[in-house]
Amino acid sequence: MDPLVKKPVVIYAESTPNPSAMKFVANFLLLPAGATVEYKSTAEAKLSPLALQIFLFTFVKQVFIAGNYITITKNDTVVWEDVIQHIRDFIKSFLEEGNAVVNELPKKEVATDNTFSETKSVYTQHSAPVTEVETKIVEILEEYIRPAVEQDGGLITFKSFVDGIVTVQMKGSCSGCPSSTLTLKAGIEGLLKRMVPDVREVVAEAV
């Protein structure tokens, strides 16, 4: 945000299917559309002033930023009711002061597997689709699955397709979510099986 432009900042909290994760939504984009960043430690968050400050809350385990929201995953030492207002107030003040969310914006991350490079501050693609079937799978993830997952404060990315098995990675609120297995099997796997006959199973790889 340009520090010379003072705009009203509104932050509100939304629960997610993961009881350990809460989504904090702003009234403007924090990152360009399609860009995401995920940090699981202060070391990983060194390129994000916002994430570094959020990790000062000792109960924070993970910070995921995409579009106009921040998904924060906590440990079990606190309950959300006791800390939500503190986090909302902090994020609101941080943004009102014109501080940077990230110092270097990543390239757009599509529904393919990407690994964050701290040295280059970009997402380097490792498993881009190479076959017609893989391309179709990624298109379905992008069009039908990703919007719903992002609504819940998460992200799903394609990892591989081998012998009828689609491997995906689930980030943000989806990471460690008790209901993510049900979502994966009942939702994502069912849809891909119907639309791509070659798909036999969908599994998630830990990030």
Q: What's the pLDDT tens digit per position in 57-116?
A: 999 999 999 888 999 999 999 999 999 999 999 999 999 998 999 987 655 444 444 433
Query: How many domains does the chain divide into?
Result: 2
Residues 78 and 127 in one domain: no
Residues 197 and 135 in one domain: yes
CATH number of the domain that residue 173 is part of: 3.30.300.130
Residue 190, H or E segment: helix 190-195
Q: What is the pLDDT of residues 119-140, one digit of tens each?
A: 333 333 335 557 888 888 888 8
pTM for this model (two decimals):
0.65
Residues 18 and 78 in one domain: yes
Residues 84 and 21 in one domain: yes
For residue 159, give the amino acid letter: K
CATH number of the domain that residue 73 is part of: 3.30.1370.70
Q: Could you tell me what percent of the chain has a pLDDT over 90? A: 31
Assigned domain for 115 exists: no
Residues 154 and 194 in one domain: yes
Quote the domain boundaries for residue 139. Answer: 123-205
